[in-house]
Amino acid sequence: MNHKNRRNENTIFLSPIFCQFLLVSQVAAQRPSDLFTILFQSTDYGRKMRVPALQLLLRGQPTDKPDLAKLASPVSHLDKQDPPLMLIHGDADPQMPQQQAREFAQAYESQKLPVQFIILAGGKHGGAAFYDTERTTFIATFLKPHLQPKSFH
C-alpha cells in the first residue's frame, strides 16, 4: 500500500508490523487515545469534525456513553504486553489534539512500556513531512531492533 496516498479522518498508520502473528512494534501518527478528553482539547475545527464522528461511533457523546467511550479509547486498554510504540504528531494539527498523543505516551511510560514521542514542528494532519527522509530514518531505527528474528525454542 502506498502510505503517502492513504488518508483517514483521524488516523494514519505508518506501520503496524506483524511478525508471526504477533504485533511486535507500531508507529502511528494523529491517533485519538482518549475519547473522554478529546473534545476539551480540540480546536473549534476539530470539534466540528469530532462531534459528528463520535455521534456515529458511540451513538452519542462520551459523557452520554461512558462505557462505550472507554471501550473505544486505546488508553484504557494498555497493559504490560503492549508492543513498543512510536508516536509522531504535528504541533500545528488543527484536527487531532497533540495532547492525545502526549497522554498516550505518558500512559505508556506509566506502564514502563517502550515509547518514543516525536513532535513534528509545523506538522499538520498528515502530509509529506511525516514521510520525509528524517522521519523514515527515525522510524527504521525505531523498528529495527523489534524486527530481529527471535528464537521460539
Confidence band, pLDDT 50/70/90 cuts, at residue 153: low
Domain at 92, CATH number = 3.40.50.1820
Instruction: For residue range 15-30, list pLDDT tens digits in order.
Output: 333 333 345 566 776 6
* Average predicted confidence (pLDDT) for the chain: 81
Number of domains in the chain: 1
User: By CB neighbour count within 10 A (0-12 exposed, 13-18 middle, 19+ buried), where does 25 fall?
Assistant: buried
91: which 3 cell numbers?
504541533
Confidence band, pLDDT 50/70/90 cuts, at residue 147: confident
Asked whether residue 44 is domain-assigned, the answer is no
Residue 32, helix vs strand vs coil? coil
Instruction: For residue range 43-72, list pLDDT tens digits in order.
Output: 999 999 999 999 999 999 999 999 999 999
User: What number of residues does the chain have?
Assistant: 153
Quick one: CA dihedral 131, 21, 24, 140, positive or negative?
negative
Confidence band, pLDDT 50/70/90 cuts, at residue 75: very high
How far lies 76's CA from each of 20, 25, 30, in Å?
A: 26, 19, 18
Q: Tell me how crowded residue 12 is: count the other CB atoms within 10 A of its CB.
A: 21
From the list 143, 121, 134, 109, the residue with the least C-alpha distance to 28 is: 143
- Domain around 82: 3-33+75-146
Asked whether residue 68 is domain-assigned, the answer is no
Asked whether residue 8 is domain-assigned, the answer is yes
From CA 148, how far away is CA 117, in angstroms rounded?
22
73, 34 in Cβ contact below 8 A? yes
